[in-house]
Amino acid sequence: MNNDDAAAKIASIRREPPSYRRLAVRSVEPVTEHMLRIVLGGDELDGFSIEAPASSVRLLLPDADTDELVMVTWTGNQFELPDGSRPPIRTFTPRDVDVDRNELTIEVVLHEHGAASDWARRARPGDEVAVSGPGRSDDLDPDARSHLLVGDESAMPAIAQLLEWIPEDRTIDAHIEIHTPDARLALPDHPNATVTWHDAVEGGSPGDAMAAAVMGVTELADAVWIAGEAAAVQRIRKYLFDERGRDRSGVTARGYWKKGRSAT
């Protein structure tokens, strides 16, 4: 093997994510018509903690036909099932972690189809899943005095985390796109936060209301955070860079799901 081949091989090996912890569903509760709150728990969650806002976890789902949880193996590049196929893994922002009870709470937005949506609809207490994490998180700029938070329903758990993490002496302008009025949730109190709910544009594309909200902001905050449907997030990001002249270092953009793809 020459040096180039060796370098290519090393580059192809990704850092192994945290190991999966086998957990069980403890409760399933409808929060709105389009969202379920699912509490997962078990002894293997001992030692799990979240140290940064908008952190993520990977959820390994059971087989859709048998509801049997099959654990995976890290191959150096991805997790695989024993037969070599790729497992049903989806990423979520936890809504809450109770270290005393070894419980992790996630909120699942219910789309018409999708691995996570289908699993959430049939989930019952005692069903097994596995969780890896925490993974990706968003570092807050300690110098930012103002924050603009923009997202759709899938971003509400992360926005809730950010409302809890951003210091109380900073200002927050949050805009959330929802499909129905009953999708509004009680969010953590922040003394200098304003939360505006936007109805999705009827007949429009996901994120149209988010984009309109951003375009309606006359003075952008020091730090901008956006999450939701991937194409909409990219569109807003491009607008901020190209038309508002925002520096890339001041914008965090996360595509949480993609229209037409079974990602939820």
For 157, phi then psi, to 5°, come to -60, -40
Last residue of a domain, one of 104, 132, 160: 132
Residue 192 included in any domain: yes
pLDDT tens, 15-28? Answer: 788 899 999 999 99
Verify that 23 and 102 share a domain, yes or no.
Answer: yes
pTM of the predicted model, to two decimals?
Answer: 0.84
Q: How confident is the model at residue 261 (pLDDT cuts 50, 70, 90)?
A: low
Specify whether 39 is located in the same domain as 71: yes
CATH number at residue 45: 2.40.30.10
Q: What is the mean pLDDT of residues 180-202?
A: 94
Q: Which amino acid is at 11?
A: A
Strands 223-229 and 35-41 turn out to be unpaired
Q: What is the mean pLDDT of residues 196-210?
A: 95
Answer yes or no: do 161 and 126 share one domain.
no
The answer to whether 261 and 229 have CB atoms below 8 angstroms apart is no
Domain range holding 160?
146-257
In the chain, how many domains are there?
2
| DSSP H or E stretch at residue 264 | none
Sequence letter at residue 34: H
Examine residue 94 and say whether the peptide bond preceding it is cis (omega within 30 degrees of 0). no
Q: CA nearest 132: which of 81, 53, 79, 64?
A: 79
pLDDT in tens, 226-235: 999 999 999 9
Tokens 């979520």 belong to residue: 92
At 94, give phi and psi (nearest 5°). Answer: -60, 145
Of 132, 154, 183, the last residue of a domain is 132
Residues 165 and 128 in one domain: no
Give the number of residues written for the chain. Answer: 264
